[in-house]
């Protein structure tokens, strides 16, 4: 992966369905959890369930700084000002609010990105900026259809609209053009979109079919990824716990249970103590690494896992398998994987979930 990918703010809002991790991991009060930081939303949303500790790891220092920024804003601002500062609502003086969040380096360094803070950090990641451009371009071609798609409160009416008006030949060809490897390398610069794509997968066809499937399962405005891609923003219906008032009230009281580490995930795991984590929320990190690195990663996960540890791993367009030497210790819940593949509101991923069986497992 390029150095630029690790030094820019790549993600500012989590586009994964938080419910899938909660269903797969079944967090318990004494659990010690390892997760990927990314936008910071994952560790915050995991705190919606009772657990002992969450360690968030990311090789990009800006992603961990974003987690610290969101934590500070949640802790020190009331709910309405918290949403406005992040960018969900209008705010007249976000830089002034930034000054009120404290003098820690992880907060004050955001003055270097004053432009992004002033606009509302929630939509200022490289990925979010790309989706805003994409939504503008798509909107120019099918603005009325997009407005109609997001107007539905009844799923059956949306399904009928998708079948009769939305799913056209031109719509399908758009994916072949926009997701051509040359385009994704040049503009998105996200290795998960091209570097480790399984040979059996054609990106354009895959994403086209997954979006169509999703629009048959839930309303467009309930999906963060569909909302970002077509509207450049998310709707209240798609808010995860760290953006809802009830969720913030729960999470705020537990913020001291999150710590972050700026390190490559594999390096962190390979130096962590044996039997030290109960849960692993690893996002789609598999999509960004080779099969050889994935095998090392899973070996490290097995070593640091406590007996009966649970795991939730997504894969975008990679299809790495758990290495044969330890596969028998990873008891995958194939029924739940299939359910999540079908119901997850960020519908692009295949899941690997289950528990890790070691000596001492009940």
Per-residue confidence band for 192, with pLDDT thresholds at 50, 70 and 90: low
In the prediction, which pLDDT does 194 show? Answer: 64
Q: Is residue 203 part of a domain?
A: yes
In the prediction, which pLDDT does 195 show? Answer: 75
In the prediction, which pLDDT does 274 show? Answer: 98
Question: Rounded to 5 degrees, what angle do the CA atoms 342, 209, 199 make?
Answer: 100
Instruction: Verify that 250 and 337 share a domain, yes or no.
Output: yes
Per-residue confidence band for 210, with pLDDT thresholds at 50, 70 and 90: very high
Domain final residue pick, 207, 238, 269 = 238
Instruction: Verify that 233 and 254 share a domain, yes or no.
Output: no
Give the lowest-confidence range in 143-147, 185-189, 314-318: 185-189
Beta carbons within 10 angstroms of residue 163's beta carbon: 12
In the prediction, which pLDDT does 198 show? Answer: 86
Domain count, the chain: 2
Per-residue confidence band for 201, with pLDDT thresholds at 50, 70 and 90: confident
Q: Is residue 276 part of a domain?
A: yes
Instruction: Verify that 270 and 350 share a domain, yes or no.
Output: yes
- The arrangement of strands across the sheet holding 53-58 comes to 258-262, 53-58, 32-36, 277-281, 305-315, 350-356, 330-332
Percentage of the chain exceeding pLDDT 90: 83
Residue 205: which domain range?
Answer: 143-238
Per-residue confidence band for 191, with pLDDT thresholds at 50, 70 and 90: low
Q: Is the sign of the CA dihedral 271, 277, 281, 287 positive or negative?
A: positive
Q: Is the pLDDT of residue 188 over 80?
A: no
Q: Which two tokens stand for residue 143?
A: 């603005």
Per-residue confidence band for 4, with pLDDT thresholds at 50, 70 and 90: low
DSSP string of 155-219, one letter each residue:
HHHHHHHIIIII--HHHHHHHHHHT-HHHIIIII--GGGTTT--TT--HHHHHHHHHHHHHHHS-
Residue 177 neighbours by CB under 8 Å, 6+ apart: 183, 204
Render pLDDT for 258-291 as a digit per residue (tens, 0 to 9). 999 999 999 999 999 999 999 999 999 999 999 9
Beta carbons within 10 angstroms of residue 156's beta carbon: 8
Domain final residue pick, 182, 212, 238 = 238
**Gap between the Cα atoms of 360 and 306, Å rounded:** 9
Q: Is residue 277 part of a domain?
A: yes
In the prediction, which pLDDT does 360 show? Answer: 66
Domain final residue pick, 238, 273, 305 = 238
In the prediction, which pLDDT does 5 show? Answer: 63
Report the predicted TM-score, pTM, of the whole model to 2 decimal places: 0.93
CB neighbour burial string for 5-33, b if at least 16 within 10 angstroms, e if fewer: bbebbbbbbbbbbbebbbbbbebeeebbb
Question: Rounded to 5 degrees, what angle do the CA atoms 243, 246, 248 make?
Answer: 50
Render pLDDT for 144-182 as a digit per residue (tens, 0 to 9). 999 999 999 999 999 999 999 999 998 998 887 777 666
Query: First-to-last CA distance in the chain?
Result: 40
Q: Look over the chain and give the mean of its residue pLDDT values, rounded to a whole number.
A: 94
In the prediction, which pLDDT does 199 show? Answer: 85
Q: Is residue 116 part of a domain?
A: no
Burial class (CB within 10 angstroms; exposed 0-12, middle 13-18, buried 19+) of 75: middle
Per-residue confidence band for 184, with pLDDT thresholds at 50, 70 and 90: low
Q: Is residue 234 part of a domain?
A: yes
Contact 310, 340 (CB under 8 A): no
Contact 333, 339 (CB under 8 A): no
Q: Is residue 324 part of a domain?
A: yes
Per-residue confidence band for 313, with pLDDT thresholds at 50, 70 and 90: very high
Give the 3-state secondary structure of residue 92: coil
Q: Which two tokens stand for residue 117?
A: 């803070």
Q: Is residue 26 part of a domain?
A: yes
Percentage of the chain exceeding pLDDT 70: 93
In the prediction, which pLDDT does 7 show? Answer: 73
Instruction: Verify that 308 and 339 share a domain, yes or no.
Output: yes
Give the 3-state secondary structure of residue 332: strand
Q: Which two tokens stand for residue 16?
A: 């994964």
């Amino acid at each position: 992966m390029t150095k630029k990918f690790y030094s820019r703010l790549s993600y500012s809002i989590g586009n994964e369905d938080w419910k899938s991790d909660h269903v797969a991991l079944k967090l318990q009060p004494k659990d010690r959890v390892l997760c990927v930081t990314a936008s910071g939303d994952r560790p915050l949303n995991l705190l919606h369930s009772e657990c002992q500790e969450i360690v968030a790891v990311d090789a990009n220092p800006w992603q961990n700084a974003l987690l610290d920024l969101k934590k500070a804003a949640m802790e020190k601002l009331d709910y309405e000002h918290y949403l406005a500062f992040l960018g969900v609502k209008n705010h007249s003086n976000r830089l002034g609010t930034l000054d009120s969040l404290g003098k820690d380096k992880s907060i004050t360094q955001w003055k270097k990105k004053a432009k992004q803070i002033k606009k509302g950090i929630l939509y200022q990641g490289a990925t979010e900026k790309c989706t805003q451009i994409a939504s503008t371009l798509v909107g120019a071609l099918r603005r009325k259809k997009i407005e109609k798609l997001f107007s539905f409160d009844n799923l059956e009416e949306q399904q009928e609209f998708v079948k009769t008006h939305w799913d056209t030949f031109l719509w399908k060809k758009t994916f072949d053009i926009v997701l051509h490897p040359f385009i994704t390398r040049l503009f998105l610069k996200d290795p998960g979109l091209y570097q480790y794509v399984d040979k059996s997968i054609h990106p354009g066809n895959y994403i086209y079919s997954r979006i169509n499937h999703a629009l048959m399962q839930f309303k467009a405005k309930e999906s963060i990824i569909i909302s970002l891609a077509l509207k450049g923003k998310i709707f209240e219906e798609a808010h995860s716990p760290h953006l809802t008032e009830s969720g913030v009230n729960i999470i705020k009281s537990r913020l001291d249970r999150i710590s972050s580490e700026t390190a490559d995930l594999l390096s962190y795991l390979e130096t962590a103590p044996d039997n030290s984590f109960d849960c692993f929320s690893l996002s789609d990190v598999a999509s960004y690494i080779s099969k050889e690195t994935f095998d090392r990663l899973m070996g490290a996960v097995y070593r640091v896992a406590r007996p009966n540890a649970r795991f939730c791993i997504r894969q975008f367009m990679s299809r790495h398998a758990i290495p044969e030497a330890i596969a028998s210790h990873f008891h995958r819940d194939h029924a739940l994987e299939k359910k999540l593949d079908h119901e997850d509101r960020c519908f692009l991923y295949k899941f690997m979930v289950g528990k890790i069986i070691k000596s001492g497992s009940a």
